[in-house]
Structures are given as structure tokens and as C-alpha cells.
Structure 1
């Protein structure tokens, strides 16, 4: 797990630690010291902590003019034990909503497992309600994670599956990725 690092080819376009509107403004990652772990497995030091024991992230792009952010996730999404949706919502998303972000692209190819909780859907519902005309997309979910999230009804709040599970995003500019995903979401929502 220590070799999985956040996508870095957009750093010439955006760095969350240098963005005064970002929840990670002035956040400092070690370049050499491995300080975080998931279940005693060290993770790459460039991942940012959202105060979860098992789920880390990196805001790899934010565009306040168009109201969207691309967030890469890594680890185990555990609502059952850690209430990760509450932690993500309270510690990161609410701050971003306050700055005008209402569309979220969550890169999930490094989300290795999902453990749901039937009581945790309040936070998914709350997040969706606060977005007005926005949306939350989960991109490139692993099959077993998609299946488990669907089993818990998370797909009622987040757009996932289909073309979104095999999207080549690294070769695109973030605004181009946003336009493609926005078109997919609008088709699904009948807009």
C-alpha cells in the first residue's frame, strides 16, 4: 500500500495545500517519512488525512468558478465502524460546499473495501440535499465495492456504475473530465 500514491500530474494546475479556500490549505505532507497507516500497512505520505482510521484522500483539483472538485480516495470506506461518510462530510465536504463546490468527482479505484451501515445513510442524504443543482459521482469503483454500496442503497445518493466504472481520467484535463461526467449525469437524470 505504501507505493499507491495520489495522482500528481495535475499539480501544475492545482495544489490543495496552496489553495486558501481548500480544507487542506497549508497542510504539509512529508516527502520521506511514512506517518499514516491502514491496519498496520504504511501508506504513501502524500495522502491527506480526513481523521479516519481507514480512508484517506487527496483533493487533486478544485474549480470554484464551475463549482466542482476531483477527490481521489484510498483505503477502506468503513461506515460501520468508523462512520467514514460522517467524517468525510463534516471534515471536508461541508467546508467545500461553503466555498461553492456542489459537484464532486470521487476517484474510487483505490477504495479497496466498503463496509456499510444502515443507519449511516442520513449523511449521504444530507450531502445530496445540500448540493442544490449539484451531484456526487463515484468513478472507477471496484466491482465488489460497487456491489456492496448498491446493497446498502448508497446508489440512491451517489451516481455510480456503468460508464463511470471504466473511465480513463488521467489522460484528460480536469475541466474536460468534468464536462464528460456532467453530460453522463445529465443523461442519467433526464436533464
Structure 2
């Protein structure tokens, strides 16, 4: 797991640690020592802690003019034992919402498992707070999306179907990627 790095191809456009509005502003990374783990497996130091024992993230890009952010996730999303959605919502999403972000793209290629909970209050709160915006999850594993559906997260988060049509998102510039996702979401929502 220590070899799995967050995508760094957009760092010429945006770095969360250099953004005064980011929850990770002025975060320093120690590349000499791996400190964080997911179930005793060390992870690359470029992943940002959110207060969870099993879930980490990296804000890849945020655009305050178009009100969107792209966040890559790593680990196990565990709402059952660790209430990861609470940590993610309170320590990352709330600050972005306060800065006007209303469109969220979550990249889940490196989320290896999801354990849901019958308590969906944080998802419902987040969904309400985006207003005319949206939350979307791309490239999560099929069995993770199946668990999302089992716990009715499809009420709050858009995933699957035509959203899987952007498998090579890393080759796109962030705004172009966002525009493609937004087109698919608008078509899905009938707007």
C-alpha cells in the first residue's frame, strides 16, 4: 500500500497545501518516514489524514469560480466501526462547503471496502447543504457501489451507469474532467 500515491498530475494547477481556503493548507509532508497506516499497512505520506483510522484523502483540485472539488480517497470506508463519513464531512467537506463548493467528485479506485451504517444523517446533511450542486462517486469498485446501494447512499451520491464512462480521467485537465462529469450528471438529473 505504501506504493499507492494520490494522483499528482494536476499539481501544476492546484496544491491543497498551498490553498489558504483548503482544510489542508500549510500541511507539511515527511517523505523520509511513513507514519500513517491502514490496518497495519503503511501508506504513502502524500495522503491526508481526516481523523479516520482507515480512510485517507487527497484534494486533487478545487475551483472556487465553478464551485467544484475533486477528491481522491484511499483505504477502507468504514461507517460501521469508525464513522468515517462523520470524519470526512466534518474535517474536509464542511470547510469546502463554507467556501462555496457545491459540486463534489469523489474518486474511489483505491477504496478497497465499504462498511455502511443505518445512520445516514451525515450523507443527508451533506446532500442538503450542496443545494443545487451534487455529489458524485467515480471509479469505485463494483462491490463497493453494491454496498453503497444496500445502505441507500444512492439517495445522496450519484454513481455507476454513465458515470463509469470516464475511465481515463487522469489524461484530462481538471476543468475538462469536471465539465464531462457535470454533463453526465445534468443528463441524469434531467436538467
- The residue aligned with 1:59 is 59
Superposed CA deviations along residues 132-157 of structure 1, whole A, max 9, x for unmatched, are: 11100101010110111111100110
- The residue aligned with 1:17 is 17
Superposed CA deviations along residues 81-136 of structure 1, whole A, max 9, x for unmatched, are: 111111111111010000011000000110100000011x1110100100111100
2: CA distance, partners of 1:118 / 1:110: 24
The answer as to 2:24 corresponding to 1:29 is no
- The residue aligned with 2:130 is 131
1: CA distance, partners of 2:134 / 2:28: 29
2: CA distance, partners of 1:48 / 1:40: 17
Q: How far 1:74 moved relative to its partner?
A: 0.3
Q: What is the total number of aligned residue pairs between the two structures? A: 190
1: CA distance, partners of 2:110 / 2:164: 12
4+ residue runs of structure 1 moved beyond 6 angstroms?
Answer: none
Unpaired segments of 5 or more residues in structure 1?
none
- The residue aligned with 2:159 is 160
1: CA distance, partners of 2:30 / 2:159: 33
Secondary structure at the counterpart of residue 136 of structure 1: strand
1: CA distance, partners of 2:85 / 2:165: 24
2: CA distance, partners of 1:30 / 1:134: 35
2: CA distance, partners of 1:176 / 1:186: 15
The answer as to 2:150 corresponding to 1:146 is no
Secondary structure at the counterpart of residue 52 of structure 1: coil
2: CA distance, partners of 1:74 / 1:166: 21
- The residue aligned with 1:5 is 5
Task: Report the CA distance shift for 1:36/1:166 in structure 2 as closer, same or farther (over 3 A).
Answer: farther
Q: How far 1:166 moved relative to its partner?
A: 4.8
- The residue aligned with 1:99 is 99
Q: How far 1:165 moved relative to its partner?
A: 3.0
CA contact (8 A) 1:142 1:165 kept: no
Q: TM-score, with normalisation over the residues of structure 2?
A: 0.98
The RMSD of aligned alpha carbons is: 0.7
2: CA distance, partners of 1:178 / 1:27: 25
Unpaired segments of 5 or more residues in structure 2?
none
Q: TM-score, with normalisation over the residues of structure 1?
A: 0.98
